[in-house]
Amino acid sequence: MASDVVALYGATNGDGAAAALQKHKSATFSVKVGLAQMLRGGVIMDVVTPEQARVAEEAGACAVMALERVPADIRAQGGVARMSDPGLIRDIKRAVTIPVMAKARIGHFVEAQILEAIGVDYVDESEVLTLADDSHHINKHNFRRGGAGTGNVVEAVRHVRSVMGDLRALRNMDDDEVFSYAKRIAAPYDLVMQTKQLGRLPVVQFAAGGVATPADAALMMQLGCDSVFVGSGVFKSGDPARRARAIVQAVTHYNDPKILAEVSSGLGEAMVGINLSDPKVERFAARSD
């Protein structure tokens, strides 16, 4: 079954974007999934400087996301949030030994090409950056790396509960129902059947957005996520290094309330959250509707 799924995802469409990438050797779907498996059970932290990257690594983060500036700050000032400066990303890569991720705008396959060329470990086609193409996403099968994200802790909770609910429904379908379901959601039948047989998504399921406390991180893990992204707002909290270590510990011991209580104590002022009921707040989750 797994080999069938890989075959489905091995083709290119022959358009201009694919032609521009012919010199790159694209990895198979299995290799991309395997890369992401390295992050299972870990914490990925947004960083904007090499110094922050070192703090994240010392706290136990399994990877960092290299940002030039916090996207929310750029948008708040009326600017366009784009791919980070490649020079900054290289500096962050030199500062740490853990994997380094970077963001490309939705649909901007040239930004993804650049990120791949400078050697980032994972490319995140990110909804938190300003849209480059409001109709098309990057064809990730042309790249060796890929990733995804969500929005605010309530959006992350809503999203993971929706996914887990769909998985429970899929597990209870017979083969004919699976075929009809795959057709309805326009997904390859083999991939949907593989998901049913596994009882989970065939890729690592990340949580991202609004994770500000050890309890938030543990909540996402208990709901069924494999790893947690923590935004660079952690470096705006009262004690960034201590809070970062506490969140890493919470992901490792997410089912132990005593340890969670211990690591949650004395962390100082938390990072600032976003009130999604504020009409001035732009909601990026709607982009996937």
Cite the annotated binding site by residue number.
Answer: 46, 149, 161, 210, 231-232
Taking a C-beta distance cutoff of 8 angstroms, is the pair 267, 79 a contact? no
Taking a C-beta distance cutoff of 8 angstroms, is the pair 196, 170 a contact? yes
| Residue 140 appears among annotated catalytic residues | no
CA dist 82 to 67, 68, 71, 124, 212, Å? 10, 9, 8, 12, 24
Taking a C-beta distance cutoff of 8 angstroms, is the pair 125, 146 a contact? yes
CA dist 276 to 90, 116, 263, Å? 35, 34, 28
DSSP string, 74-126: HHHTT----PPPHHHHHHHHHH-SS-EEEEEETT-HHHHHHHHHTT-SEEEEE
Annotated binding site for D-glyceraldehyde 3-phosphate: 161
How many angstroms separate the CA atoms of 136 and 278, rounded?
Answer: 29
Q: Which of 138, 28, 151, 10 is nearest to 83 (CA)?
A: 138
Burial per residue of 96-124, b for 16 or more beta-carbon CB atoms within 10 angstroms, e otherwise: bebbbbbbbbbbbbebbbbbbeeebbbbb
Taking a C-beta distance cutoff of 8 angstroms, is the pair 211, 231 a contact? yes
Region for residue 224 given its phi and psi (left: phi exceeds 0; alpha: psi -120 to 50; beta: otherwise): left
Taking a C-beta distance cutoff of 8 angstroms, is the pair 217, 251 a contact? yes
Given 93, 103, 140, 196, which residue is catalytic? 103
Q: Cα(first)–Cα(last) distance of the chain, in Å?
A: 30
Catalytic residues: 103
